[in-house]
Structure 1
Amino acid sequence: MSFNIFKKKVGSKTTRNVEFEELFGRYISEEKSNGLCKDSIHVCMKPKKVENTLPICLICVVDISGSMDSNCCNNVDGMESMYLSRLELVKHSIKTIVSTLRKDDMISVITFDDDSYLKIKPTILINKEKKDDVISKIDEITTKGCTNMWAGIKLAMNTSKSISYEEYQKSIMVFTDGYSNVNPPKGVYETLKDKLKSCKDKFTISTFSFGNNIKPKLLIDIANLCNGIYGYCPDGTMVGTIFINYMSNLLSTITPIVQVTITQGNDNKNTTVIGPLYRGIYRNAIFNIDKKLLNETKIIVELPMTGQKFEVPLNMDSPNLQTYIDEMSELDKKSNNTDIDHNDDDDDDDDDELLDKESDEETLKLEDIDTNGIIEEKDSKPIQYEEILLNQLMRDEFINILKKIVQTENLSSNNEENTKAIKSIKDYYDLLTSIKYKTKFIKDLMIDIDNPDPNHGQVEKAIRMEYYKTWGECYINSFLRFHQLEQCGNFKDQSLQYYGSDVFSTYRKMANTIFVNLPPPKTESRSYYRGSGNVRSSSQTFQMRNFINRHGGCFNGDAIVLLANGKTKYVKDLKKGDRLNNNAIVQCLIEQTSSSSSSSSDKNHLSKLYMCDIQGVLFTPYHPILMNNEWYFPNDLVESKEVSIHSWFNLILMDEENKKYEVEFSNGIKAITLGHYREENEVLKHPYFGTDLVLKDLQERDPIGYSQGYIFINEFNPRKLQFDKDNQYCINYYKVIPETETTIQSKTEDIKNIIVNNDFNKLVY
């Protein structure tokens, strides 16, 4: 992969003043809006291309109270046996931030428990030695004491005073897993509000919470008051996601605060802060107005950090959204009619949008990254104004609905209020559904609101009473804030990806690469007893990719497989001819129930089976899986647990192109399939499951099913299994053996032990 987007600096000085490529206001009449808004004005702006931005001054305020020792792996599927503290993961994230910053950027680290401490004074990261020195000091941070958040914020503000906001974009980041329990008399928020009134300094404050045992209101209020974002990390998997995206936005920011004011006549004045101005991105604001005062309307855009003010020209000719929607709807119909003959998939069309395109998940080669290089802006594709407007009207309405929901008291305990909130979301979803032409942003927003895929539809789930009091309130407020600031805040929410520019995406790839390549925290894997008598313990190095979640971890469903057309399918729904995302083609799906149900052909029978839950996908303990480019047996990662399932599955693939014979699940984990002939390591190598022998036995077992692509097995007797001469590999798992045939190669005592110890799973591949 070539990355010629990096261009070496030639000593150019960063200009402070901002210039706009586009800056205008547009009147939107209710009559021509397709019923989507009242009389309004849309203010739209896009900055001119720049090669660099003002240096960043980042002040990290880190909670080191005792609760930061909590294990962030507890609720992560497939990682329950591991231990990594929240503080260790935060430290790794800050190290990523340090490594991502440029030579003119500055960082400071403050810690707080009962009091606050300047752990790292403001340091310009002029070279690798400076970065290494800062990272070594971060490693020294340990936990103790209570949670005096105000002490940390106050010290950060005092530290910021000595640094000119005219020379740096200053951002304070507050990291905590709990609410402040050592507070000033007026409380943290009111004390901060009072201090800001007399403060001539200019900075933003963003807050980040960890876990679900937190009261988020204070952190949300601080972020809103100080023009920052609120980032929610429910578990360890979201930490990398949140901070990689936060840093990518920060590095893409031209100026951190844009204020828009509309005045009509002498008395009607409305001011809103829309957040940062980013490289290569439109920023927008929608205002309801009095049509009678249209000729007396004045629009001002102010940039407090640069001291600039712009009077915005107003176009009073309203666009006709109804005409645009009708025209685009007709084009869509013609396009669909053209494509339908080439599409033999019966799935719902809406699934086309569930792509989870994760081009930003790609990591660059570490040696290709130059954090001091200039990232050039590409020419953006022309976009019709009506499409921008349609997206902004839907975004504005969505924000207004979410604001009302989060301002509702007792949403998690008052059934009447919760029902109203759910109805308001449903009504909005129905509105989106009713629009004849849906932009990609609208389709993605619908996926985020309500979708059967457990990785999506989080908005509707979050406001349910049973979830709002745990993770829902935090999620909705964070999601709302990202939409307010038109900021891509994570990898998983579809609609947020709309806000990412090419420059942002490049920074995101850089930060992602750095995060996964920095030396990971070392900690312990917890001991547990296994049926075989083995006890596992020891220090373990973490794969940091596990802490970058692009799908969310709140709900898990059946194993979902990625297809070549961008769609997904449950394993149980795969059919012969389905092409996987690696271009391998499904030849046969094998479904099996355990021997306990062998007397019945009832597929609804629940079998008891020991399986390993690896990030939401259940595997038999010895089925080879690929994680972070390493092959493992699942039981080498987590302890198997007894589960009740109807059946389990395996696949035969045709993969002449790659000869890898792998299936990839939506969580990024890959599994080997039958008859793969791969022997590059001891995990994959198998004289039966990895050769044509297994295919021959399946074909003989059910010739018609094999030919048609589906075999159902409900008769299985482990006493008839045969092993190789070393008694290590099963060599006849799927073979049909007549009742009279003896299995002299099987060691009867070993088979007996397998059955008695519930370790039948070690025979299943």
Structure 2
Amino acid sequence: MQVPTEQIKDLTLSDKDETSHLVTKLKLHSDPKKSLLIASLEPPRQPSIPVHHVPCLIVLVIDVSASMSRPAPVPGDSSSENNGISVLDLVKHTARMIVKAMTEHDCLSIVTFAEDAQLLQPLVYMTAENKMTALNNINGMCHQSKTNLWQGILTGIEQLRGVNSNGQAPAVLVLTDGEPNHMCPDGGYIPNIQRMLPPAITLHTLGFGESIKSGLLLSIAESGLGNYTFISDSGMLGTNFIHAIALRQSTYATEATLQLRYRPETHIKEVMGTSVRSRNAVSFMSSSGHRMMQLDIPLGNLQYGQSRDIVFTNPGSEPTVTVEATVRYKPVLHNSAGNYASTTADPRAKPTMSEANVTYHASRALLCLVLSQLFPLNKQMEHAFSVKRLAWAKECIQKLMERLSKFSDPLNKSLREDLGGQISAALHDWNTFRRWGRHYLLSQLSAYKMQTCNSDKDPGDKDPEPLKYGRDSPLLDACRKRLATLFDTLPSPKPSCWLPPDSQYAKEGSFDMSSYRKSSSSRGSIQKQQVRRETVGGRLIGNGVRRDPRNGQVCSFEQNESRDRDLSRRSAVARHSDCTRSKRVRAKSVLRS
């Protein structure tokens, strides 16, 4: 089967037919001792033809509510001097990077939302002329009020509804920095999204800052078989967006679904954690008259060079029972007609997965299971954290680290270091968990389950080679480097926040944009968290407890936080009253004179 000619650039004719061998390999690995069954899907490492990137249909849905106008200081700048850049300025710079990275084979649409949604740009091919229009539209973005997330998502999905995506990877990327507070849909987000979202479209969410509703954002991403990414601060916005786009540009196939068929006595169950897409197996009668079970696992997109490994429990011990596995998917470059490919595997064959790899995937599955139980689904199908399970989750993570200590291979080492680093820090105490840990853990749940890399630090940020997911994909690496170069070299955005005339940034007029994609404030560091315990409202003396310096009383974090907010409001009122009083005095003085 041939790749459409319009998608091939700078190739010789002999290159255009070498695609027939590019199929996803499917293997079943059984481990009777651990009662585990692992289904491994291995897409091709790279396209057989040297493509710039996989053509994409991308819809950017961007929050432009008032909170997006807050300053985004240069990460790691000890002076903490305001450079005049707002969060929205930084997002606009990132959007310009995406436009510059696209070719005439890509399509882009831009939707903004605040009190209502606005179609800033319809879905068009990124020709030179349309790129100029897109850049002008991006420059015209300005902050407004409220956060109507639903209208933003609805308008974004509508741009791809009915569009022929053959030969392109369609995706909706939603960025927000706050909780939705206007016109939320009746019946909840998830049922409505699942009803209206076409199967070929993936939906991805990016949450910026600590005021977001991460449980909702993860559920939205799960409903669209996409990724949820927590952007902790301005220093991670660039790198998180770079990875989000690079993953789309290295898509091998869309609409992937794994199907298992087996006898009821095998009792197979997926153990990757509960999501809004989780379904129970259904029974059917085979052509031979036997009762069989069928379990369908929707996987979404497959990326070049990155396996997808799904772990199941398999307590059935009968050696004569066969499990049939089938994967169906729609290759982007190599199947323009839209036909699905299928293959089967037999778990009775000699397993080829090493003990270290089995341990890694089993541990990864257990981590996903623990996090999904720490954030169970509520009635609205949104992940909501359970305070009662916090201590239990910490204990599970500790036991998992002890199990992994027996292995020194790169995969298990990176997982162990991630568990002992950022993940343990996120669970360290109630204050840390409540402030940023819950957002980070939900993002990690998405990354480990989907086996995708959200940033240069995920997973295993202490490992010399932290990019465990996608490390075998030359195309992903090339796309990532190309986007990073564009982000760094594009002219820095024009500041929208007020700058003092004697400011360093006001004098220089520009600054190094690479600072916005290389670092974070390292919020996962327990040591830094302990340094930050001296707060305006008092000294933190335990898990979510601190002493109020105003009266010496020990009270909960919520009580102190409420008092701090009340004190801040009264201080603001007092300042306003003082200002008004001063104006009246000056006015009386003028009248007397």
- Aligned partners of 1:537, 1:17: CA distance in 2, in Å? 52
Secondary structure class of the residue paired with 2:408: coil
Counterpart of 1:514 (choices 486, 492, 499) is: 486
Equivalent positions of 1:120-199 (< 5 A) are 120-127=121-128, 129-186=129-186, 188-190=188-190, 192-193=192-193, 195-196=195-196
Residue 283 of structure 1: which of 290, 308, 312 is its match? 308
Map 1:288-307; keep pairs closer than 5 Å: 288-289=313-314, 290-292=316-318, 295-303=321-329, 306-307=338-339
Structure-2 residue corresponding to 1:236: 234
Q: Which residue of 2 aligns with 1:441?
A: 411
The whole-number CA distance in structure 2 between the counterparts of 1:294 and 1:93 is: 56
Query: Residues 476 and 13 from structure 1, CA distance in 2 versus in 1: closer, same or farther, beyond 3 angstroms?
Result: farther
TM-score, structure 2 normalization:
0.72
CA displacement, residues 441-464 of structure 1 (integer Å, 9 cap, x when unaligned): 1111111111xxxxxx11001123
**Contact 1:113 1:148 (8 Å CA) reproduced:** yes
Counterpart selection for 1:30 from 4, 7, 32: 32
Map of 2:71 onto structure 1: 71
The 3-state SS of whatever aligns with 2:181 is coil
Higher helix fraction (1 or 2) = 2
Seen in structure 2, the aligned counterparts of structure 1 residues 558 and 283 have a Cα distance that, compared at 3 Å, is closer
The separation in 1 between residues aligned to 2:241 and 2:492, in whole angstroms, is 16
Q: 1:24 aligns to what SS in structure 2?
A: strand
Aligned counterpart, 2:437: 472
Aligned length: 470
Which residue does 1:420 correspond to in 2?
392
* Alpha-carbon distance between aligned partners in 1 of 2:479 and 2:190, rounded to the nearest angstrom: 36
The residue that corresponds to 1:205 in the other structure is: 203
Tell me, in whole angstroms, the C-alpha distance in 1 between the residues paired with 2:400 and 2:349: 28
CA contact (8 A) 1:62 1:112 kept: yes
Q: What SS is found at the alignment partner of 2:295?
A: strand
Change (3 A) 1:291 1:259: farther
**What's the CA shift string for 1:521-580, capped at 9, x where partnerless?**
122787689xxxx87673642321111134652156999xxxxxxxxxxxxxxxxxxxxx
Is the Cα–Cα contact under 8 Å of residues 115 and 146 in structure 2 kept in the other structure? yes
How many angstroms does 1:153 deviate by? 1.3
Rounded to whole Å, the distance in 2 between the matches of 1:118 and 1:13 is 40
Equivalent residue letter for 1:89: L
CA distance in 2, matches of 1:536, 1:39: 60
Partner of 1:89: 90
Amino acid at match of 2:313: N
Q: CA RMSD in A?
A: 3.3
3-state secondary structure, aligned to 1:57: strand
1:172-203 deviations in Å (ceiling 9; x for gaps): 0111111111124515514533533xx55620
Q: Is the 8 A contact 1:56 1:170 kept in 2?
A: yes
Residue 475 of structure 2 corresponds to which residue in structure 1?
503
Deviation at 1:226, TM superposition (A): 0.3
| Residue in structure 1 matching 2:424, options 442, 460, 468 | 460
SS in 2 for 1:161: coil
1:273 Cα shift? 2.7
Change (3 A) 1:537 1:255: closer
Return the offset for 1:431.
0.9
2: CA distance, partners of 1:15 / 1:400: 43
Cα separation, 2, equivalents of 1:425 and 1:101: 42
CA, structure 1 residues 518+391, in 2 after alignment: closer, same or farther (shift >3 Å)?
same
Shift in alpha-carbon separation, 1:422–1:556, aligned structure 2, 3 A: closer
Instruction: Quote the Cα distance in structure 1 between the aligned partners of 2:377 and 2:225.
Output: 22
5+ residue gaps in structure 2?
A: 1-7, 264-290, 332-337, 461-465, 529-593
Specify the SS of the correspondent of 1:121. Answer: strand
Q: Normalized against structure 1, the TM-score is what?
A: 0.56
- C-alpha contact (below 8 Å) 2:175/2:205 kept by paired residues: yes
| Aligned-partner Cα distance in 1 for 2:345–2:153 | 40
| Secondary structure in structure 1 of the residue aligned to 2:212 | coil
1:17/1:308 contact within 8 Å kept? no
Residues 19 and 48 in structure 1, CA contact (< 8 A), matched pair in contact too:
no
Aligned to 2:506: 538
**2:455 aligned with 1:490:** yes
* 2:266 alignment partner in structure 1: none
TM-superposition CA deviations, 1:582-609 (whole Å, max 9, x none): xxxxxxxxxxxxxxxxxxxxxxxxxxxx
The amino acid across from 1:241 in the alignment is: T
Judged with a 3 Å threshold, the aligned counterparts in structure 2 of structure 1 residues 275 and 19 are, in CA distance, closer, same or farther, namely farther
5+ residue gaps, structure 1:
1-5, 32-36, 321-383, 451-456, 560-765
Paired residue for 2:538?
none
2:219 and 2:357 map into 1 onto residues whose CA distance is 30
**C-alpha distance in structure 1 between counterparts of 2:72 and 2:520, whole Å:** 17
The one-letter amino acid paired with 1:232 is: F
Give the partner amino acid of 2:121: I
Higher relative contact order, chain-length normalized (CA < 8 Å, sep 6+): 2
For 1:219 and 1:542, locate their aligned partners in 2 and report how far apart those are by CA, in whole Å.
32
Deviation at 1:318, TM superposition (A): 4.6
Q: CA shift at 1:399, angstroms?
A: 2.1
How far the C-alpha of 1:424 sits from its partner, in A, is 0.8
SS of the residue corresponding to residue 514 of structure 2 reads helix
Deviations 1:357-414 (A, max 9, x none): xxxxxxxxxxxxxxxxxxxxxxxxxxx7555444323322222222222329999784
Q: Taking structure 1 as reference, are residues 386 and 60 closer, same or farther at Cα in structure 2, changes over 3 Å only?
A: same
Equivalent position to 2:402, from 390, 415, 430: 430
1:72 is displaced (CA, Å) by 2.2
Corresponding residue of 2:370: 401
Answer with 1 or 2: which has the greater Rg. 1
